[in-house]
Structure 1
Amino acid sequence: MSARTFTVCGMTTTTTDIAARAVDAWKVYGSGEAQVIALRGVNVELERSRFTAIMGPSGSGKSTLMHCLAGLDTVNRGQIFIGDTEVTRLGDSGLTKLRRDRVGFVFQQFNLLPTLTAEENVLLPLSIAGRKPDPDWYKTVIDTVNLGDRLGHRPSQLSGGQQQRVACARALVSRPDVVFADEPTGNLDSRSGAEVLGFLRNSVRDFGQTIVMVTHDPGAASYADRVIFLVDGQIVDEMREPTAELVLEKLKHLDVTAGASRCCGRA
């Protein structure tokens, strides 16, 4: 893997690391006839300072994989790492600290507190942790999401796109190792969605941020450096430098493959 160099707030960094990885990860829900195997021995490495999209047919395990990688869910077998930290060996307090200090989240639902201003929502994770923001980085994030004139507004006074940009700024303000985004444009119109995706793309290009996004939208996936495709809980393919057209063609093939698999009685 070639090294990447980026400059943030006057500091230049070169990195080639793996931000997160899964090693022989299995996730099973239920038992007996009700058993569902969501992940089947998944092995994947997610590169630092890259934008990775995870895609697949409905029920393929893409959200389960992201939740396990982010420490929001646990695997039944295998290992999950954030950097060099084995997530699967952490207890509740360790997981809480990991999610607070090293992982950022952006969800389809904006999850903003309605009684707080935009600025207070952005700073909430740091406030909970008893930390103050780095002033230069905070200004960089706010300028990048173009929210400087909306910081005093409450969520009800913001558009959907503005609320999601607040959520993106909240995910980035603590400078996490990885930001996990689960269908971040699912509740947005096409213009607002493009603004949010452009911000995520720029955070990778300009600041060396690592983004892992689950999406069903080929257009959203085209913003990524790499797309990983899942079928029936297994990674079956990947694509570098994706376009919306190429991703759409791949998904059509995967839908056929998944349908054939279900017809043959595979769990």
Structure 2
Amino acid sequence: MPTTTAAARATALSKIYGSGDTQVTALDAVDVDIEAGRFTAIMGPSGSGKSTLMHCLAGLDSISAGQVWIGETEVSGLSDKALTQLRRDSVGFVFQAFNLIPTLTALENITLPLDIAGRKPDQQWLDTVIDTVGLRDRLTHRPSELSGGQQQRVACARALASRPTIVFADEPTGNLDSRSGAEVLGFLRRSVDEFGQTIVMVTHDPGAASYADRVLFLADGRIVDEMADPSADRVLERMKAFEQARG
């Protein structure tokens, strides 16, 4: 069983696509613990398996071998219905493509997971989320009336509004300018420090990774290194070293 300090955990996690000559091993017997109340960044070159790892840990993708837990629940053993409920109640997501509902306002998109679950939002927390990502004057706008950066901030607010056990973010600042990106990353950092939120973020940006407590480095489907208390410069140096080694 996983320890109580792990918000998510994987043992011998493998993910294989295709078969025969077209078989690709995206994850190769990965062991990882995601500590609760911490901000973890996942980095690696294109094709390293970082997004696949996040999707498997979040229960969005099936696994080929091994085990995955969210909290004390083994994800790989759940029915589709139970897995859907676990993701709805315990997991927040921020996708690169926003995944907003075009007919809903910004506020309705933010509260959608809570509405589906039949839960009322914690108004004080919701106000904190909205004000921190700077959306107070955009709440009645639909996605088509928002810039890409504003849509991404709606997506971040939606992921955090229900205060889930763990938030998975795939390049959450990829479509933001540097100032807006820093605001969102600062809020993710605050949500960990002040509210005990657990964040797992896939990023290629050393500056974004520097907001994390810990960076995991993937290459060829395996965790090959990790860094505590990262800085942008140290992360960039480590990434360059990996690229030179692969080259």
Q: Structure 1-normalised TM-score? A: 0.87
Deviations 1:20-43 (A, max 9, x none): 111110111111111100111100
Deviations 1:122-179 (A, max 9, x none): 1111112222212232223223323222211222332333222211111111111100
Is 1:56 paired with 2:44? yes
Give the C-alpha shift of residue 115 in structure 1.
1.7
Give the aligned residue type for 2:38.
R
Partner residue of 2:127 out of 117, 123, 139: 139
1:1-267 to structure 2, matched below 5 A, reads 17-259=5-247
Equivalents in 1 of 2:245, 2:67: separation in Å?
A: 28
Q: Give the 3-state SS of the residue equivalent to 1:60 in structure 2.
A: coil
Give the aligned residue type for 2:15.
K
Native 8 Å contact 2:48 2:221 kept in 1:
yes
Equivalents in 1 of 2:133, 2:184: separation in Å?
A: 8
Native 8 Å contact 1:164 1:196 kept in 2:
no
Equivalents in 2 of 1:204, 1:161: separation in Å?
A: 22
Give the C-alpha shift of residue 70 in structure 1.
0.2
Equivalents in 2 of 1:186, 1:137: separation in Å?
A: 25
Q: Give the 3-state SS of the residue equivalent to 1:58 in structure 2.
A: coil
Give the aligned residue type for 1:248.
L
Matched residues, percent identical? 73
Native 8 Å contact 2:152 2:175 kept in 1:
no
5+ residue gaps, structure 2: none
Native 8 Å contact 2:59 2:87 kept in 1:
yes
Equivalents in 2 of 1:41, 1:217: separation in Å?
A: 26
Equivalents in 1 of 2:11, 2:151: separation in Å?
A: 35
Give the aligned residue type for 2:62.
T
Q: Give the 3-state SS of the residue equivalent to 1:196 in structure 2.
A: helix
Q: Give the 3-state SS of the residue equivalent to 2:217 in structure 1.
A: strand
Native 8 Å contact 2:11 2:67 kept in 1:
yes
Q: Give the 3-state SS of the residue equivalent to 1:172 in structure 2.
A: helix
Give the aligned residue type for 2:202.
V
**What is the aligned-residue RMSD (CA, Å)?**
1.4
Give the C-alpha shift of residue 116 in structure 1.
1.1
Equivalents in 2 of 1:91, 1:184: separation in Å?
A: 29
Native 8 Å contact 1:109 1:187 kept in 2:
no
Equivalents in 2 of 1:125, 1:95: separation in Å?
A: 15
Which is higher, the Rg of structure 1 or of structure 2?
1
Equivalents in 2 of 1:153, 1:58: separation in Å?
A: 35
5+ residue gaps, structure 1: 1-15, 260-267
Q: Structure 2-normalised TM-score? A: 0.94
Equivalents in 1 of 2:93, 2:222: separation in Å?
A: 24
Equivalents in 1 of 2:28, 2:204: separation in Å?
A: 21
Give the C-alpha shift of residue 229 in structure 1.
0.3
